[in-house]
Every structure is written in C-alpha cells, then in structure tokens.
Amino acid sequence: MLSAAALLLGGLSAVSCGSSPKTAQEADSSELRVMTFNIRYANPDDGPDYWDNRREAVVRMVEDVKPGVMGIQEGLAPQVAFLDSALTGYSYVGVGRDDGKQAGEYAAVFYDDSLYAPVADGHFWLSETPDSAALGWDAVCIRIATWVKLKEKATGREFLVFNTHFDHIGVVARQESAKLLLRRVHEFGDSIPTVIMGDFNFPVTDPSLAPLVNAPTFTEVRGSKAFKPQGDSLPPVTYRGFGHGEPGELIDHIFCQGFVPQEYEVITSGYGVPYLSDHMPVLAVLKY
C-alpha cells in the first residue's frame, strides 16, 4: 500500500463472478456501475509488470466490465493519454497532482460518454491550501482529489463523483483529507447522490479514516448489504503487489450517499497477464 512517486501501488484483474456485464444499451438506467482502480504508475523497475506490458490487458478489462464511471489512481500523463485514446466511448477529467496540469500522478475520472455528460468538474489538493499544489499536514506526497458532476443522459439525473489517493504516511493528513472531502461534498448539498472512491492506503478500520467511515450520510459499499457475487471467493485484500510476497491490504474503497449499494466485486482476472496492477480493480453497482 503505497504511493506513486515513492512506492508501488497496484491493480488487479477481471470480472470473475456473477452474470456477464450489461452493455450500455442493456444497462438499467437506475444503476451506476462504478470502479476504483490504482493502475500503478509506469515504473521501469517493475520489469515484466511494467505498464507497457499491462496496458492492453487493462483496456480489455475495462471493455469487458464496462464501468459507467472509473476512478484511477497513480496514472502518469502518458498512461492517462493512452487510456484516453485506447478506451472506446470514454472521456475523462483530471490533472497531474504536482502542478495541476500534467506533472505527477493523476486521480482521473473516466466516464462512459454515451451514458453521461459532464455538468461541472474540478480538482483540489488535500492540504491546508486546497486551491494550490502543496503538501498537506504531515503527508510525504502531494495529494489531490478530482471531482465531476455528471448528468445521466437518459433521465437527466445528476450525481457527483470524487476520486482520490490518500497519503500512505501522514495520519493527520488522512484524517484532515477525509474531512476536506466531506466539506466539499457538503458544498453541493447532502441530498445529491455522491460517490467517493479511491486508494485510501489503509483499511476502513483505521482511525485515520474515521471521519469518512462514520459520516452519517455515507455508506461504505463493501461493508454494506450489497450482493457479493464472489461469495466466499471474494478476495480479502485489494492490494496484493505483483506476487512478490508483499502483504495484502484492503485499502481501495467506495463510499456512497443517495445510492443503494446493489453489488460489490473485486476483479481478479489478469485478462491475459499475471497482474493488471499491484492493486485489483473494485467494482460496485449502485442504485439511485
């Protein structure tokens, strides 16, 4: 469980349980298929697991699973550009965390532009000065959150998506980042359906995530009554490294308000490669 410029983070694999994903035409318009996925920054030291060896498999996974909205973490500008060009029918919002342009890791949000249209979008830094790039509190990396308000084309309904990557060291930074996210959601009104997702670098039982975990209007999807198609085969972790003995961690989470969680799945297939990333993608189906 770590971070882009200083550590490895990771990804995972493909839909391995439940019924086949619905096409955009078949999808129930009352449902949102949302995915969070730390794709692991393009680190040449990863050897056979380097991004160039995984990227086509990542595209196959997305095209198979068909998330309506996907938040990625750790993507560098060339990785985001590749996904933007390779994924058919998706657009994205997001910037590099180091300068608000292209430098550093993105917490980009991709969305199916046949289903959704952007109403507004933006980003802010997880720091005491959220409108400018800076380290926050006791963090060791600059951290960012990307948000987008989307309108469902078929119904006109609107919802918010926040995607982020919390610091792996700073305890105060994680606590204050959670509070900042909730304040930003509150600015839109607590009645609007909202998703907060990302790599939080710690399990939901960690006290540093308590402000978000205990937020009265939000539900953490894995811990909800959502159907788990994988049943007893549901992986206990979402970060597993590249199979080199790293301890697994359950650190990639999806929270929602104004939605009812329907399904939760951790994608385990490699879609033709051993590992899609050092993290596995997490998919939730949410009902309006």
The encoded tokens of residue 249 equal 């961690």
Residue 187 backbone phi and psi in degrees, to 5: -65, -25
pTM of the predicted protein model:
0.90
d(CA 81, CA 95): 11
Domains for the chain: give ranges and CATH numbers. Answer: 31-287 (3.60.10.10)
Tell me the three state secondary structure of residue 57.
helix
Q: Is the CB of residue 193 less than 8 Å from the CB of residue 159?
A: yes
Q: Which pLDDT score is estimated for 28? A: 53
Sequential pLDDT tens for the chain (288 residues): 333 333 333 333 333 333 344 444 344 558 999 999 999 999 999 999 999 999 999 999 999 999 999 999 999 999 999 999 999 999 999 999 999 999 999 999 999 999 999 999 999 999 999 999 999 999 999 999 999 999 999 999 999 999 999 999 999 999 999 999 999 999 998 899 999 999 999 999 999 999 999 999 999 999 999 999 999 999 999 999 998 887 899 999 999 999 999 999 999 999 999 999 999 999 999 999
Q: Which pLDDT score is estimated for 29? A: 59
- Smallest Cα–Cα separation from 272: which of 52, 89, 61, 92? 61
Task: Report how far apart, in Å, the C-alpha atoms of 213 and of each of 153, 173, 182 are.
Answer: 31, 15, 11
Q: Which pLDDT score is estimated for 99? A: 97
C-alpha of 104 from chain center: 17
- The residues, ordered by sequence, that sit 6+ positions from 133 with a Cβ below 8 Å of its Cβ are 97, 98, 99, 100, 125, 142, 144
Q: Is the CB of residue 108 less than 8 Å from the CB of residue 118?
A: no
- Smallest Cα–Cα separation from 93: which of 63, 113, 114? 113
d(CA 202, CA 206): 6
229-241: buried (b, 16+ CB within 10 Å) or exposed (e) per residue?
bbeeeebebbbbb
